[in-house]
Amino acid sequence: MVSSDRSNHNVPTMPKSSTQFHRNKPSLSFSLSLSDGCLFLGGAFSALLIVWGFSSFTTPILTDNPNLGSVTTKITDAPATSSSGPDLRFDPPDRTFYDDPEMGYTIEKKVRNWDKKRQEWLKHHPSFAAGAKERIMMVTGSQPKPCENPIGDHLLLRLFKNKVDYCRRHGYDIYYNNALLHPKMFDCWAKYPLVKAAMLAHPEAEWIYWVDSDALFTDMDFKLPLERYKDHNLVVHGWPHAIYEERSWTGLNAGVFLIRNCQWSLDFMEVWASMGPQTPNYKKWGQTLQSTFKDKVSPDSDDQTALAYLMVIEKDKWGDRIYVESEYFFEGYWKVIVPTFENVSKRYDEMEREARELRRKHAEKVSEKYGELREEFVRDAGRLKRPFITHFVGCRPCNGDHNPIYSADACQNGMLRALNFADNQVLRPYGFMHPDLGDNGVTPVPSH
Ligand SMILES: *[C@@H]1O[C@H](CO)[C@@H](O)[C@H](O)[C@H]1NC(C)=O
């Protein structure tokens, strides 16, 4: 496994993970047409096909007539809605938490007995039962206004596309929000009202997966090892020693986290968010956090240090349910990762030359199978394993107000390389690739 060296995160004055909701500066942040060879053949052929179709619901129609394109076509009579998937039209009149007039979504509104309420909803919606224990809903977002950085909105679009790609390949739902749900909870604090609302809107989801807008998936195949987190409710990237012993505010990163949709999480977020700018104690919390975490430069209370604070000061209360992931790039610092893309790509090319099964062309829908296969080959590749998530902390792609310790070019070029590195994995089942990570152009994938 890759050990993502924490020293790389420990950058002085590093702005924390940004969700790019900005304070006081309103605009300153950041018919399927089937081919002739397939189903619609026209004229006499279609009549013939229908006849064949009736007699071969399970037997593929095989033909080598060149007009039919030598395709194998299997006609099935499956109903439009499959009986095995979730039923999106079924909501029985039985009373659930949604019918409680007291129920509310805002951060101030207390939710009680959530675990039982969720269970009841699931009981009334049995078609969601399959997979309910590990269903993941991704939530991300950005500010309500256009970006100030001239290419900021383009970067946000590509960063969002990357998340959509990852979700599509793994069958996850995704919600992108760009409304500020609580007028005073700006910037890094904006995600908590959103995560809470997402929990209530998605009782079918076991996990809410928050991913900052400036983080992207650079291993499209890797899946979260949920089994490892089965006794935990919150998963963050970090280093326990740096949090508990060194008391460093960069001992973890709050820009990407997995949080279980349960009462514990609602309670925890309530305490966590109570250090935010919507409370009268915001200023005081800033001082408390700074005196507890001496390396914290900014005097403002931020969600990342607030999380570290709760882990250290209220360890007995919360600590055993928080998993600090250090074994792989749950999220990784871009400065360390970006220079490795070329060597990683080379390693994967070599591997595919050795392992024929990895080179087999396949439908995007079954890419998880090849991902699993590939995982076996790269498990011990160390730094040559694709990093799961690359996080452009400090770059602020939307408002362009990047940390002065980086150049705008380093941020922008790094991001384009990371986006193209990820997109190469996405484009592969479509038959194309970016031969040069620094260039958006594509060529067909060469045959091996
Ligand atoms: C990439 O591999 C080459 C050759 O093994 C090595 O010299 C170079 O340092 C590597 N680059 C990085 C960024 O790891």
The 10s digit of each residue's pLDDT in 20-75 is: 444 333 332 333 333 333 333 333 333 333 333 333 333 333 444 444 444 445 55
Taking only the tens place, the pLDDT of each residue in 381-397 is 889 999 999 999 999 99
Please report which confidence band the pLDDT of residue 356 belongs to, taking 50, 70 and 90 as the band edges. confident
For residue 4, the model assigns a pLDDT of 47
- For 212, half-sphere exposure in the C-beta direction (CA atoms, 13 angstrom radius) is 31
Cα of 376 to ligand 1 centre, how many Å? 23
For residue 77, the model assigns a pLDDT of 55
For residue 351, the model assigns a pLDDT of 92
Query: Atom 7, ligand 1: which residue's CA is nearest?
Result: 343
User: Which stretches of 239-387 are assigned E, i.e. beta strand?
Assistant: 252-260, 322-325, 332-333
Query: Atom 1, ligand 1: which residue's CA is nearest?
Result: 343
160's CB contacts (< 8 A; 6+ apart) are 140, 176, 213
Residue of higher predicted confidence among 291 and 57 = 291
CB 334 within 8 A of CB 159: no
Cα of 343 to ligand 1 centre, how many Å? 6
Cα of 211 to ligand 1 centre, how many Å? 30
Residue of higher predicted confidence among 41 and 98 = 98
Cα of 340 to ligand 1 centre, how many Å? 8
Taking only the tens place, the pLDDT of each residue in 259-275 is 999 999 999 999 999 99
Cα of 370 to ligand 1 centre, how many Å? 27
Share of the chain above pLDDT 70, in %: 81
144's CB contacts (< 8 A; 6+ apart) are 21, 178, 179, 180
Angle, helix 303-313 to helix 282-292, in steps of 10 degrees: 60
CA-based radius of gyration for the chain: 24
Average pLDDT over residues 211-227: 97
Range of weakest confidence among 10-19, 115-124, 172-181, 193-202: 10-19
Q: What is the residue-averaged pLDDT of the chain?
A: 86
Cα of 413 to ligand 1 centre, how many Å? 19
Query: Atom 5, ligand 1: which residue's CA is nearest?
Result: 343
pTM of the predicted structure, to 2 decimals: 0.84
End-to-end CA distance of the chain: 29
For residue 208, the model assigns a pLDDT of 98
Cα of 384 to ligand 1 centre, how many Å? 10
Highest mean pLDDT range out of 3-7, 155-159, 355-359? 155-159
Average pLDDT over residues 339-361: 93
Query: Atom 14, ligand 1: which residue's CA is nearest?
Result: 340
Residue 7, pLDDT above cutoff 90: no
CB 188 within 8 A of CB 16: yes
CB 440 within 8 A of CB 434: yes
DSSP string, 192-218: HHHHHHHHHH-TT-SEEEEE-TTEEES
Query: Atom 3, ligand 1: which residue's CA is nearest?
Result: 343
User: Which stretches of 200-308 are assigned E, i.e. beta strand?
Assistant: 207-211, 215-217, 234-238, 252-260
Closest-lying ligand 1 atom to the alpha carbon of residue 340: 13
Query: Atom 12, ligand 1: which residue's CA is nearest?
Result: 340
Cα of 130 to ligand 1 centre, how many Å? 46
Query: Atom 2, ligand 1: which residue's CA is nearest?
Result: 343
Q: Which of 129, 272, 126, 109 is nearest to 200 (CA)?
A: 109
Closest-lying ligand 1 atom to the alpha carbon of residue 342: 1
Sign of the alpha-carbon dihedral angle for 239, 244, 245, 247: positive
406's CB contacts (< 8 A; 6+ apart) are 335, 394, 395
Range of weakest confidence among 35-44, 83-92, 94-103: 35-44
For residue 74, the model assigns a pLDDT of 54
Q: Which residues line ligand 1 (CB under 6 A)?
A: 339-340, 343
Cα of 350 to ligand 1 centre, how many Å? 15
Residue of higher predicted confidence among 10 and 418 = 418
CA 101 from centre of chain: 33
Cα of 433 to ligand 1 centre, how many Å? 23
Taking only the tens place, the pLDDT of each residue in 180-200 is 999 999 999 999 999 999 999
H-run or E-run covering 422: helix 408-427
Cα of 322 to ligand 1 centre, how many Å? 36
Query: Atom 4, ligand 1: which residue's CA is nearest?
Result: 343
d(CA 344, CA 347): 5
For residue 5, the model assigns a pLDDT of 47
Closest-lying ligand 1 atom to the alpha carbon of residue 383: 14
Residue from 343, 344, 347, 421 whose mutation best tests the ligand 1 pocket (most atoms within 8 A of CB): 343
Closest-lying ligand 1 atom to the alpha carbon of residue 343: 1
Query: Atom 8, ligand 1: which residue's CA is nearest?
Result: 343
Closest-lying ligand 1 atom to the alpha carbon of residue 339: 13
Residue 448, pLDDT above cutoff 80: no
For residue 80, the model assigns a pLDDT of 52
d(CA 116, CA 123): 10
Q: Provide the total of helices (H) and of strands (E) in the chain, helices listed first.
A: 13, 13
d(CA 124, CA 181): 29
